[in-house]
């Protein structure tokens, strides 16, 4: 009886972490749609909209904020993003509640990761509020995007940890430490995501016509100083951007150069570790997603950023984060084990939960 209760608790946390990962991806995409539909200031206040939990009618909105006329579609888009984010916080709280009980039964339960995830999500909520109060200041919008993708990666990592614990792998197995090349690749991913957020929050997506040159030039007519002036003044509002054309072009070119650096790192990683059977499929996936993401970026420039294509580009970023996290996970855990064929390993990871664990080596995070 006790064993079956433990099994169902393990299953619950695994499902919750997976649901959190999927829901977080949806929240990131809803945030991108909000930004792309210029709906980021659809509600002038936070957490309510014109002081109400649901989008009010025009009269009530007028009474609440006379200077900000209601645009119902934009307001609903913004509120949808907030409702989804609230649901995500609920998932993280449930995970913490279940984790608080399970960690006493299992010394390797990833409790610190669970708490870190909850803290990151709270911070992310605060940044959601700042995007409104700071009137879409690009610094805040960019950090909000990075935060969303980080929380998503944390949900995925937690899920992988929990699956590993449930399988009950031998305690003698230790994860590999990430090498400099792995760290460089992860760093260049974070920088490229930040550059992407900077591009969209400064409305620099179509600052350059043409590819690979920018408005017919390689390096002329780019104002790097203004484009990357990170301590620029706040306000009055960054809706549609405040920078002049040359500054926006510099941002767009910076994002292209960042893509080149990231792809180079991914290719080096694949070349260095591509022969390792366990990690090969994940690296191939990450490189494939990286190339597709670059192609989507170029298509966005050439087709003048249609909404659906811009959303696909954000979805590509989500997939790239997930695939690189999966590759890093499999690389970390692959070396000290007799390397099984990737198919066998996949089925082993997907095997039923709740086995008596002995003292399995999970994520030693607390």
Cβ pair 241, 263 in contact under 8 A: no
**Cβ-contact 161, 362 below 8 angstroms:** yes
Residue 262 binds to ligand HEM (criterion: CB under 6 A)? yes
Cα separation, 303 vs 106, whole angstroms: 53
State how far the Cα of 265 lies from the Cα of 186, in Å rounded to an integer.
Answer: 9
Stretch that binds ligand HEM, among 59-67, 158-166, 178-186, 290-298 (CB under 6 A): 290-298
Angle formed at CA 62 by CA 56 and CA 68, multiple of 5 degrees:
100
Q: Catalytic: 78? A: yes
317 binds ligand HEM, rule: CB under 6 A: yes
Residue choice 314, 324, 332, 361 for contact with ligand HEM (CB under 6 A):
314
Half-sphere exposure of 157 (CA within 13 A, CB side): 22
Instruction: Work out how close the CB of 269 gets to ligand HEM at its nearest, in angstroms, rounded to a whole number.
Output: 14
Token duo for residue 235 = 């306000």
Confirm or reject binding of residue 199 to ligand HEM (CB under 6 A). Answer: yes
Residues with Cβ within 8 Å of 342's Cβ and at least 6 positions away in sequence, in order, are 277, 278, 280, 281
Choice from 192, 249, 323, 334 touching ligand HEM (CB under 6 A): 192
Answer yes or no whether residue 320 interacts with ligand HEM by CB under 6 A: yes
Residue 49, φ and ψ in degrees, nearest 5: -120, 115
Q: Does 256 bind ligand HEM (CB under 6 A)?
A: yes
**Beta carbon nearer to ligand HEM, 309 or 349:** 309
CB of 174 to ligand HEM, least distance (A): 31
Q: Is 32 in the site for ligand HEM (CB under 6 A)?
A: yes
Q: Is 167 helix (H, G, I), strand (E, B) or coil?
A: helix
Residues tagged active-site:
78
Residue ranges that bind ligand HEM, judged by CB under 6 A: 32, 35-36, 145, 192-193, 196-197, 199-200, 205, 211, 255-256, 259, 262, 290, 293-294, 297-298, 300-301, 305, 310, 313-314, 317, 320
């Amino acid at each position: 009886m006790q064993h079956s209760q433990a099994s169902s608790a393990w299953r619950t946390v695994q499902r919750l972490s997976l649901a959190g990962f999927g829901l977080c991806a949806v929240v990131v995409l809803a945030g991108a749609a909000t930004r792309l539909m210029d709906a980021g200031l659809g509600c002038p206040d936070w957490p309510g909209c014109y002081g109400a939990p649901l989008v009010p009618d025009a009269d009530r909105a007028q009474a609440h904020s006379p200077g900000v006329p209601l645009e119902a579609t934009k307001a609903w888009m913004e509120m949808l993003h907030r409702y989804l984010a609230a649901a995500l916080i609920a998932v993280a709280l449930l995970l913490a509640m279940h984790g608080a009980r399970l960690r006493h039964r299992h010394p390797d339960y990833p409790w610190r990761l669970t708490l870190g995830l909850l803290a990151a999500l709270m911070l992310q909520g605060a940044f959601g509020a700042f995007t409104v109060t700071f009137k879409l200041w690009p610094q805040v919008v960019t950090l909000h995007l990075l935060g969303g993708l980080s929380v998503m990666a944390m949900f995925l990592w937690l899920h992988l940890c929990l699956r590993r614990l449930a399988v009950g792998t031998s305690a003698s197995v230790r994860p590999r430490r990430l090498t400099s090349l792995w760290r460089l690749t992860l760093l260049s991913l974070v920088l490229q995501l930040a550059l992407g957020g900077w591009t969209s929050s400064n409305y620099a997506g179509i600052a350059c016509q043409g590819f690979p040159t920018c408005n017919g030039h390689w390096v002329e007519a780019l104002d790097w100083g203004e484009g990357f002036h990170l301590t620029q003044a706040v306000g009055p509002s960054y809706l549609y951007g405040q920078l002049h054309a040359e500054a926006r072009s510099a941002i767009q070119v910076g994002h292209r150069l960042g893509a080149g650096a990231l792809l180079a790192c991914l290719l080096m990683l694949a070349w260095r570790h591509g022969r390792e059977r366990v990690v090969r499929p994940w690296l191939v996936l990450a490189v494939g997603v990286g190339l597709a993401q670059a192609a989507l970026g170029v298509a966005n420039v050439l087709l003048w950023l249609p909404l659906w294509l811009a959303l696909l580009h954000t979805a590509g970023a989500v997939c790239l984060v997930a695939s690189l996290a999966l590759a890093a996970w499999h690389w970390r855990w692959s070396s000290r084990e007799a390397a099984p064929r990737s198919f066998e390993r996949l089925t082993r990871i997907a095997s039923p939960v709740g086995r008596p664990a002995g003292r399995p080596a999970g994520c030693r995070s607390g």
